[in-house]
Amino acid sequence: MRNIDSIIVHCSATKAGLDFTATDIDRWHRERGFNGIGYHYVIRLDGKLEKGRDVALAGAHCKGWNEQSIGIC
């Protein structure tokens, strides 16, 4: 297991009120050349939490902090 010591909360930078899923972000990230969704969790507009990247894997969300953090969007 990774040594996780930080949680990083991101802004989606999308239009206000736009509801999207972890699957949507996974597709957007793949279109940009990533190997899947960079965040570990996604919080939907209704407050429900969706799983993204497995927490056992380093994220792709914050350069220099991916190895020791969990990314939430």
Q: Tokens 């972000």 belong to which residue?
A: 25
Q: What is the CATH number of the domain that holds 65?
A: 3.40.80.10
Domain that holds residue 48: 6-72
Among candidates 16, 51, 57, 17, which has minimal Cα distance to 34? 57
Total tally of structural domains belonging to the chain: 1
Q: Which residues contact 49 (CB under 8 A, 6 or more apart)?
A: 41, 42, 43
30 is a domain residue: yes
1 is a domain residue: no
For the segment 1-45, what is each residue's pLDDT rounded down to a tens digit?
789 999 999 998 888 899 999 999 999 999 999 999 999 999 999
Band of residue 48 on the pLDDT scale cut at 50, 70, 90: very high
